[in-house]
Chains A and B, each alone.
Chain A
């Protein structure tokens, strides 16, 4: 799953405003298609427009939500979210609960739900007669409420991860934790060669440290015990070496807790050129 802090297809929709029906809950296929195309280009492509409002965008059959600047776009977004994300079990609850149709809250209601967004103070808003008019700050406020639920949602599903902070943090955390490692798609050809190498005279511990343990743990999802078994087997193929089991176990645990990926060859070459030269000489890289 990927997370974006973005208003992905708003720009396209703004341009095609004339196509938008009066009733945004029933947009024509052409508009949806245009939005989806642009959305896809953002998700899988290169360009990402600068954020206009703090928004959260979940894809891969999960949650789509953003905070457009006007009510019309919000309604459209909500509809699109409901259309596009049938698999997300809590979408209705989250979207509809935290996107109240009205932009007016009672003073009490505002004070009771304000906590997830402490930046938004009462005196930034228009307050009159016991009502808090969210006005142009509404999308920001509502997005923050949504954000709180998303944080909780991620925290519940990902062990050992404390998710907190701003939307930027959310994006970073989610990208780091939830997005599949990019190496998985590309594969690690040099690691495959390293796994098959035999009789390595020197640098066995360093190879384990830079590449193999991160690969087994982060990419293949092995447990520290399985890693120990694989490592011992790999070491025996190199003619044996004095590497403590406790070191392998602790390193595997460290990699698991930090989500460390295998190092790139270029990076290792910068700090350990001798090792890379040796491995290249053996045809292992």
Chain B
């Protein structure tokens, strides 16, 4: 298999069942050595460092001498807030389980663990987010080349987006956090996007605030476009959620044409009428990657170990595939690696789900014959176990 670029400068870590990194500080001179290692040891998980080190196998960390680091964005389906009715909650205290999303067990009140299952709708939304990150931000705003950006399925619940470019190589932690904050857009401060007071038009006594127009680049333009969009659609709910009072929303929508015309020219109503914060709120609420869509910790951590592409993820049995065409990629079809030989498992609970072009479930307390890749997936999720009774 293909190793990461500049393999000799990378640190590797391997894991065993139930433990993603059991041994780290490994390094390989070249791909041949890496492949030899994989053949002989066949670890459950293998990860490599996003950082480049002078001495990748040295310990402790400071002796490795960090030379630079890739920039990585991580999307996890559950962390981006995409919940599904197909998810399963399980209480490890009392053994109760059910479908959907719950924080506490309804029977004993303990915290429950959530196991996510393939859901085509969620998968599409996740891909839209990855697409927005790559096209709008990485290629659009940040100006990276297509060859600098690679998208990998994580093998479990999401995607990893790697940026390998000289421009990010030496960025420190705070600069990386800034990039994540930029793409999530949650810290927009509108006062920095607006200028002074200007006449609203040629023959009008009214005064406006000079601000971004829809053609402005970056977040200022994004904000102008989302506000115009909200006005054109007459999205009363969004305007109210952004913090406008009911009567102000009525006034805004009653004069919709006038305001869209003004904002289209970069002239915004005076803050006395509509606080600037409202416009920022609209941009925040409609941001393509809002909230905690991206794990800041992963992006900021220049020493992080991340799944090696094209290796099997020990939890799911799926391959952490490199994604060439995101629109046609379906991880639950294209990343299946284990054989379809049937094995017997005892399934505690599972929703209806699609894996490897076939549909399974729903199951509840059943002993079944399932293809190995499905059985492994369910066992890895902690909702099934091997059945010793092979006659069932």
Contact = CB atoms under 8 A, between A and B. Distances in A.
A111 B171 contact: yes
A121 B220 CA distance: 12
A133 interface: yes
Nearest to B166: A108
B144 interface: yes
A121 B187 contact: yes
Contacts of A137: 192
Interface residues of B, number: 28
Contact of A129 (B143, B167, B174, B175): B143
Nearest to A137: B192
A284 interface: no
Contact of B178 (A111, A131, A136): A111
B216 to A, nearest CB: 5
Interface string A129-144: 1110100110000000
Contacts of B174: 115
B27 to A, nearest CB: 28
Contacts of A119: 192
Given A130-B167, A131-B143, A123 B216 contact: no
B143 A130 contact: yes
Contacts of A115: 174
Contacts of B168: 108
Contacts of B353: none
Q: How large is the interface on A (under 10, 10 to 19, 20 to 34, 35 or more residues)?
A: 20 to 34
Contact of B182 (A112, A127, A128): A127
A26 interface: no
A107 interface: yes
B125 to A, nearest CB: 23
B185 interface: yes
Interface in B138-175: 140-144, 167-168, 171, 174-175
Nearest to A132: B218
B141 A121 contact: no
B301 interface: no
B182 A122 contact: yes
Interface of A: 106-108, 111-112, 114-115, 119-131, 133, 136-137
Interface of B: 140-144, 167-168, 171, 174-175, 178-179, 181-182, 185, 187-189, 192-193, 195, 212, 216-221
The 6 closest A-B pairs by CB, nearest first: A130-B143, A128-B217, A124-B192, A127-B218, A126-B217, A111-B175
